[in-house]
Amino acid sequence: MEAHHLLREKRTSEIEAILAKYPPERKRSAIMPLLYLAQEEYGYCSPEAMREVAEILDLDPTEVKSIVGFYTMFFEHPVGKYVIDVCDDLPCALRGADQFVSHCERKLGIRAGQTTPDGKFTLRTVMCIAACDRAPVIQVNRVYHYDMTEEAFDRLVDALANENGTGEAPNEQKQGLDVL
Amino acid sequence: MAELVNLTIDGISVRVPKGTLVVDAAKSVGIDIPVFCYHPKLKPVGMCRMCLVDIGTPKIDPATRQVVRDEKGQPVIVFGPKLTTACTTPVSEGMVVRTATEQVRAAREDVLEFLLASHPLDCPICDKGGECPLQNLTMAHGPTVSRFDYDLKFHNDKHVPLGDLIFLDRERCIQCGRCVRFQSEIADDPVLQFHDRGRGMEIVTFSDPPFDSYFGGNTTDICPVGALTTADFRFKARPWELKTTPSLCTHCAVGCNLALNTRLETKTGGYEIKRVMPRQNEQVNEIWICDKGRYVHHFTRAEDRLHYPLIRQDGKLVETTWEQALRIAADRLERPSAILVGDRIANEDAFLIAQFAKAIGAALEQRPALPAHYADVARAVGIGSDADFKQLGAGDVILVVNGDVEEEAPVWFLRLRQAVVDRGAKLIVAHHRSTKMHRYAAAIHRYEVGQAAKWAASQRADWLQGARNVLIVFGDEHLDGSSARALAQTLANWLILGGFAGKPNSGLLPLYPHANTQGVFDMLEHATRPANETTDTLWLVGVGADEPAPRANFIIVQDILLTERAKRADLVLPALSFAEREGTFTSGDRRVQRFYRALPPLGEAKPDWWIVQEIARRFELPWRYEAPAQIFAAIAQQVPRYAELSYERISRVEPQWPPMGREDLYYGGTVYDNTGGLGARYAADAERSALSPYDVHVPEPTLAGLERTPRLLYRDGELIRRSAVLRAHIVAEPLTA
C-alpha cells in the first residue's frame, strides 16, 4: 500500500500534541482529534486523509472510515467553505424550521445536502444541536447563530458571500465551540 | 470448577456457571431464545433486540441486604419495567426468566416487523433461502402479514463486491454486525465496519486490498440472512438440494472437519461439490475453516482428472485397461524400485504401501521429505492426547519458532491467538521474518534465515520455568533436514528438561505441510529406505510436481490429476480424490479422523489402497481388503501407537457446546453438526514413559533449505491452480522481507 505523509509533514507538532494525550497502547483514542485536524487541513476527510490517519494510529483504514461515516460533522465529500447546519428537530420545527429551511434553500439556490456551484456554501439539515431554548438555530462552520429569522439568515449569507475571511460570521449572537 | 448459579427459566430450574448469559443458560435446557446479532462464538452486543425476555431478580431489603420473602417464605421476585436482552445479561442467583409471556411474544413480533420493513423478501432468489435464520424466526415469531405497502419498500445496492470472494446485498443486511465482529474479534482483520447510521447504516470495507481475509468465508456462514454470499456458491444451488457428507480438509496439518455439500448435476452427468462448509469439532476447528479449505475443492471435478490408466506408447500417453496397467506396473516393480509417497494420501493407503515396499525390498521415501526428519520428535513430545486449545490461557506460554501459523495452519492461528489475546497466555515468537503472530507477542526473537536451530541452541532452556503449560509451535521454513531435526530436538529438550513433556496442554505442535504428514510418517516409518542410483522403476504416489525424485528408467505416477509430473510418466494410475472414497488422516496434533465418500467414483479411477493391493496381489501378497475399515483394523494391530484406535472409536460423536447445526441453524449459523466422528488423538510417547533429552548436533545450515519457497497459504500448486475463484490469490513469488 502506498504511504500517505502529507498530514504528518504539514501538521507534525499538532499530531504529536494530540498523540501525547493518550497512552501509546491506546492511541486509537486519538482518532477523532486527528480526523478534525485532517478535515481542517483538507476541508474534508478525503480517502487519502483517512488512510493516513489509519497509518498514524496503526488501524485498518476501514475502522477510520467507519468513524467518519458515523459522525455527521466529519465530511466524506468536499464541502463548501461555509457549512450551514440548520436544525429541523422538534423544538426548532415548532418555531418554523421547515419553512426556514425552505427559505435557506431559496436564498442559496440549492437543496439541503448540496453545495453552491461556487463552492462557498453547503446547506444541511441536522438533528438537535442542543440550543432548543433559542430555536430556530443554525451552525455555520461550528459557530452557533441563535433565534434565526429569514432576514438574519440573508444578512449572514450576504456578509459571508462578500468577505474572504475566516468563517467568523458578523453576528453578535454567535458562540464558538472548540472541539479540539 | 467455576462457581454455579441457580435460576429459573420458564419454570425450569437451571444451574450454570457464573457469568453464563441468559440466552445460553436457556439453550442448555432446550429453550431457544431467538437471536440475530448474538453468536455464541462472538462477544454479545445486544443490537438486534430479538432476544428480549422478561427478567426478574429477588427483592433485596436495602437495610439488611437479605432477600425479602413473602408469607409462604418464597423470595419476592421483582421484574423490570421493560424487557431485557437475554444475550447481554449474565445469570444471577435466584433470577427468574420468562420467555413465553404475551409481552415477550409481542416484542419478538415487533422486532421482526421492523427488520422486515427494510428487507427485500427476495427469498426465492436468495442463497440463504431454506437455511435462513430470518426466514425461520419469522415463521416462528413474526407477524403473518405486513402493514407496509410493498411498493414503498426500502431498496439498496445488491451484488456489492466486498472483495473478489464475498458479495454483499445491502438490502438484505439486518445490521447484526456478526461479520464485523468476526473479522475484528476472531480473525483480527477488521476490514469490515459499519458506516453511517439509522436507515443509512451499512457494511463497508475501505481496506486495501478490500475484503481479502483468509477466514472471510466464515462470515457468510454466520450471516443470519443472505446479505453475504461467496463468489463460489452464490446462485449455484438451493440448500435443500444439497447432500451433506462429513469430510476432512487435506490442505494443512490442522485437520479441519468439513461438510461437503454435493448435488447431482445433469450438465456434467454426476455429483459435484457445490460448497464446502465447516463441520463442528470444538477440539479441532470449532466452527471455522479458512478460505483455502473452502474454495480449493474444484480440483475434484477438474477437466484433467484422470479417469483411466494411461500407458506411454510411441511417446504418447494412451488409455489402457486396469488389467494391463497393473500387469505392467507389477512387471516393472520386479526390478530395483523406489516408491515415493506424498503426504495427502490416507493412512490406509500408506500402510499398504509400506507393507508392500518391505515385502519386495523397494526403497521408500515420504514427500515432502523434510518433515520425516523430525516427525518422530514431534510425536514423542507432542501435546497430550487430552490437550484442549480452549484451556490454554493465563499462566501458559506459547512459543512459536520458525513458523508462520496463519499461513501454514490458519485455524491454529485463530485458536492460539484467542489463547493469547482473550485468555492471557504469554506468546513468544522467534522467526527470521515478520508474521501476523508477531502482533500478539510478549517477546520477539530474530535470527538469520535458516538459523533457527542455531538460535534455539543458543537459548537457555530455563526461560520457560514457572509456566503452567508450554506449547511450542514450530515450522521448517528455509531449514534443511538436519537443521529441522536439530531444532525439533532442542525444543523437545526444553520441554523434557523443564518437566513439561507429557503434560496434557504442553508439547510440540509441528506445522506440517499437509493433512496426513504425521500419518504417512507413522505408517512408513519402519519400511523407509532411501532411494539410490540403482533405481530402475520409480513409483510416485500422490507426489507434488516440485518434489525431487531420483532418476529412473520407468516412472509410474499415481495421482488424481494429469499433473505436470503425470504428463512425463511412462504409466499413469488414476486415483480417487478424498471426496470419492473414505479413509483416515492423522493431523499435526496426532488426531486420527475419518473422512467419508461424498462423490461417486470418477471413471475407472480407484482408491490408492486398492491400486496398491492389486499390484501386491501380483506379487502373491495375500491381501483381500474390501474397505479401509479392514485396513485400519490391521493398522491398529501392527502399528503400536494406533493400537487403541478403531473406526468405531474415531467415529464417535458426543454433544458439543455451543450446539450447532440441526435445529440450531439459526443460533450459530450455517455450520454443520458433526455426525462423522470427533476423532481421537493417540498418546505422545512422553505420556507413556519419561523421555531422556535428545543428544543434539546443530549443523551449519546448507543452501538446500533456503531455496524452498515459504509455505504460504495460497502458494502455487497443482490443486489451487484448478480453483478459478482462488487463482488471483496464488502467490508464486517467494516471500523475502
DSSP string for B35-70 = -SS--TTS-----S-TTEEEEEEE-B-TTT-PBPB-
Q: What 3-state DSSP class applies to B333?
A: helix
| Same domain as A86, residue A158 | yes
CATH class of B111-230: alpha beta
**pLDDT (0 to 100) of residue B666:** 62
- B183: cell is 473479522
CATH architecture assignment, domain B375-512+688-702? 3-Layer(aba) Sandwich (3.40)
pLDDT digits (tens, 9 = 90+) for B334-391: 999 999 999 999 999 999 999 999 999 999 999 999 999 999 999 999 999 999 999 9
User: What are the grid coordinates assigned to B378, written together?
Assistant: 514431534
Pair (A126, A153) in one structural domain = yes
A100 and A59 share one domain: no
For every residue of B5-38, DSSP letters joined together read: EEEEETTEEEEEETT-BHHHHHHHTT-----SS-
Is A172 a domain residue?
no
Spell out which residues of chain B touch residue A62, defining contact as CB-CB under 8 Å: 190-193, 204-207
Has residue A143 been placed in a domain?
yes
Chain A hits for B195, Cβ within 8 Å: 65-66, 69-70
**Measured torsion, CA atoms of residues B343, B346, B351, B356, in degrees rounded to the nearest 10:** -80
Mean pLDDT of B473-492: 96
C-alpha cell at B345: 494420501
Q: How many CA atoms lie within 13 A of B404 on its CB side?
A: 16
* C-alpha cell read off for B304: 484433467
Q: Does A95 share its domain with A115?
A: yes
Flag whether A175 is in a domain.
no
d(CA A21, CA A57): 13
- The full length of chain B comes to 737
A58 with A86, same domain: the answer is no
Burial of A1 from C-beta contacts in 10 A (0-12 / 13-18 / 19+): exposed
Q: CATH no. for residue A47?
A: 1.10.10.1590
User: Which residues, including other chains, have CB under 8 Å from residue B185's CB and lie 6 or more apart?
Assistant: B42, B43
For chain B, say whether A69 makes contact (Cβ under 8 Å).
Answer: yes
Interface test with B, best of A62, A67, A68 (most B CBs within 10 A): A62
Inter-chain residue contact A60 with B196, CB threshold 8 Å: no
Q: Which three cell numbers stand for residue B607?
A: 482408491
What was the pLDDT predicted at A4? 67
How is chain B split into domains, by residue range?
A: 4-100, 111-230, 375-512+688-702
Answer yes or no: do B193 and A66 touch at CB < 8 A. Answer: yes
- Helices (DSSP H) in B118-262: which residue ranges? 133-141, 178-181, 217-222
pLDDT in tens, B656-670: 989 887 677 666 678
pLDDT in tens, B40-95: 999 999 999 999 999 999 999 999 999 999 999 999 999 999 999 999 999 999 99
Show Cβ contacts of residue B614 under 8 Å, excluding neighbours closer than 6 positions: B322, B326, B606
**3-state secondary structure string across A29-90:** HHHHHHHHHHHHHHCCCCHHHHHHHHHHHCCCHHHHHHHHHHCCCCCCCCCCCEEEEEECCH
Q: How many residues does chain A have?
A: 180
Beta bridge partners of B715: B731
Chain B positions touching A113 (Cβ under 8 A) are: none
Per-residue confidence band for B210, with pLDDT thresholds at 50, 70 and 90: confident
pLDDT of A142 over the 90 cut: no
| Counts for chain A of helices (H) and strands (E), in that order | 8, 4
The three three-digit cell numbers of residue B145, written as one number: 402479514
Number of structural domains (chain A) is: 2
Given a contact cutoff of 8 angstroms between Cβ atoms, the answer to whether B258 and B278 are in contact is yes
* Short-list B231, B230, B210, CA closest to B221: B230
CATH classification of the domain holding A122: 3.40.30.10
A102 and A50 in a single domain? The answer is: no
CB burial readout B356-392, b (16+ within 10 A) else e: bbeebebbbbbbbebbbbbbebbbbbbbbbebebeeb
Domain boundary among A20, A46, A70: A70
CA dihedral B357, B361, B367, B371 (to 10 degrees): 100
Beta bridge partners of B55: B97
**Domain identity same for A147 and A88:** yes
φ/ψ (deg, to 5) at B330? -65, -40
pLDDT beyond 70 at A166: no
Q: How many CB pairs under 8 A join A and B?
A: 40
Query: Do residues A103 and A57 share a domain?
Result: no
Residues 20-49 (A) with a CB less than 8 A from some CB of B:
47
pLDDT at position A5 is 76
- Best of B185, B208, B438 to disrupt the A interface (most A CBs within 10 Å) is B208
B36 grid coordinates: 440475530
Cβ–Cβ contact B192 with A under 8 A: yes
- Is A63 within 8 Å of B193 when comparing Cβ atoms? yes
Measuring CA to CA, which residue among B114, B1, B2, B93 is closest to residue B49?
Answer: B114
CATH for B4-100, among 3.10.20.740, 3.40.50.150, 3.40.50.970, 3.40.50.1110?
3.10.20.740
User: CA B429, B435, B439, B440: dihedral to nearest 10 degrees?
Assistant: -40
Q: Please check whether residue B520 is in contact with residue B366, taking contact to mean a CB–CB distance below 8 angstroms.
A: yes
pLDDT of amino acid A3: 55
Model confidence band, residue B118 (pLDDT cutoffs 50, 70, 90): confident
Do both A45 and A91 map to the same domain? no
Domain region containing A25: 6-70
Q: Report if residue A77 sits inside a domain.
A: no
- Assess if residue A19 is contained within a domain: yes
Cell of B610: 486398492
The residue among B206, B219, B440 with the most chain A CBs within 10 A of its CB, best to mutate, is B206
Q: Is there a contact between B204 and A50 if contact means CB atoms under 8 Å apart?
A: no
pLDDT recorded at residue A23? 96
Residue in A with minimal Cα distance to B189: A60
Partners of residue B191 in chain A, C-beta under 8 Å: 60, 62
Q: Which residues contact B571 (CB under 8 A, 6 or more apart)?
A: B309, B310, B311, B312, B325, B328, B329, B332, B554, B555, B556, B557
